[in-house]
Chain A
């Protein structure tokens, strides 16, 4: 057998083994009008001038769709800052993608909601930071953000879209959970994600200010269940996501590395999850390689597939097919070794780090950082957020 033939056979075997990247997350820009301290974007600023062009995104969509990608999320940063968003939506919708816009709502207008609908946008997800203007705008670091989100959510429903609301919960806003659910009903959301912050990017830096106590979480979950009972099958579907820090088994991060999710960052880096850039691996760029080559052949995408890479206790664990050893980024952030068992697992020798984080969050010793954006940077004199002024 020639080398070429052997390579071809190996390629075929790999592609037969790996399913399609069903979920493509297109992070169009890291620029954002908000400054949320729970943001999972990288804390290192990136230049907007390196962003992919419209044509380059078209190519990404084409190649990913050919592989069988079907869900496409437009995210960021704030995707509305891209003036070609309507063109990107139309192009991808024509390819057969189900198109999701994941937005802060800042920069939306009734007219733009209509234009996006004409372009074929299927669904809009709006994030909220709190249930009232005072807390919402303090967390978001922008005045009038709440009112804008409220008005746009009304318009999204009036214009016939399915709508998801996303509340990132932390100890800053957890006490508002019942008001948050009432607001969701008023806005006629279809699905509501009550998602406790995950600690990546800015949120990792601010973890002490965000991570709730176990008691706060138990109470919040009780309130959610009570509210669901009263709904009697009507109104929004509430999805309550507890932080993995209070679990004894890790989450099945990204449904398994390189199994379902593909993120393309503003500058064209292709990642198996939106946080993976922090890992000491070299990730490919869509400017240099096709999506097919990236998904099926690239070293970094293959690196944590299967269980060959696993250390103990993962390798001998009968739950390894369920959680795939947990989150590689979390293992790396907390232990410095991306191969280790996710410290969330009670079988991990590093599990004590999780308890230490929970304890440390009881009394934060450093001030909270507000997310700094490239454009805002020139004007920002004080990057600390005075959350103390709000009623938390």
Chain B
């Protein structure tokens, strides 16, 4: 724990996948997407939920970003947001990458 975690460099060709330790689903009562793990739950905000829905272990970061840019044309380039979230999610071990 004493060594600081060096931020991962997220590249467009990287393909993230969900750590099988976690389950991703929509929770009606919480009105958001969540990650479930042994005896715990993480609530995801809207943007994180949109990104997580596209993570299937097949699409790379570029593909995910393109899909979101098409879905939200007025939001500007979403690449920095996608990179930042995936970086955080890898640090938190929610996601693995190849």
Contacts and interface: CB of A to CB of B under 8 A. Distances in A.
B54 to A, nearest CB: 21
A233 B1 contact: yes
A228 interface: yes
Contact of B25 (A96, A232, A233): A96
A79 B27 CA distance: 27
B29 A71 contact: no
Give chain B's interface secondary structure class.
Answer: loop
A70 B28 CA distance: 10
B38 A125 contact: yes
A70 B27 contact: yes
A162 to B, nearest CB: 5
Nearest to A125: B38
A162 B38 contact: yes
A232 B36 contact: no
A125 B40 CA distance: 13
A113 to B, nearest CB: 16
A67 B3 CA distance: 43
Interface string B25-58: 1011110001011111100000000000000000
A190 B38 contact: yes
Contacts of B27: 68, 70, 96
Nearest to A22: B41
Interface string A277-290: 00000000000000
A123 B40 CA distance: 11
Nearest to A122: B23
Interface string B13-26: 00000001101010
B11 interface: no
Contact of A229 (B1, B21, B34, B41): B1
A246 interface: no
A153 interface: no
Interface string A96-108: 1010100000000
Contacts of B20: 160, 162
Contacts of A67: 29
A312 to B, nearest CB: 35
A125 B38 CA distance: 9
A135 interface: no
Nearest to A123: B38
A94 B25 CA distance: 13
Q: Which of B20, B23, B30, B38 has the most CB of A within 10 A?
A: B38
Listed from nearest, the 7 A-B pairs whose CB atoms lie closest are A68-B29, A98-B36, A123-B38, A162-B21, A20-B29, A164-B38, A162-B38
Interface of A: 20, 22-23, 67-68, 70-71, 73, 96, 98, 100, 122-123, 125, 160, 162, 164, 190-191, 228-229, 232-233
29 contacts: A20-B29, A22-B41, A23-B39, A68-B27, A68-B29, A70-B29, A70-B34, A70-B41, A71-B40, A73-B39, A96-B25, A98-B23, A98-B41, A100-B38, A100-B39, A122-B36, A122-B38, A123-B37, A123-B38, A125-B38, A160-B20, A162-B38, A190-B21, A190-B38, A191-B38, A228-B1, A229-B1, A232-B3, A233-B1
Given A98-B23, A233-B1, 7 more contacts: A67-B29, A70-B29, A70-B30, A70-B34, A98-B41, A100-B38, A122-B23
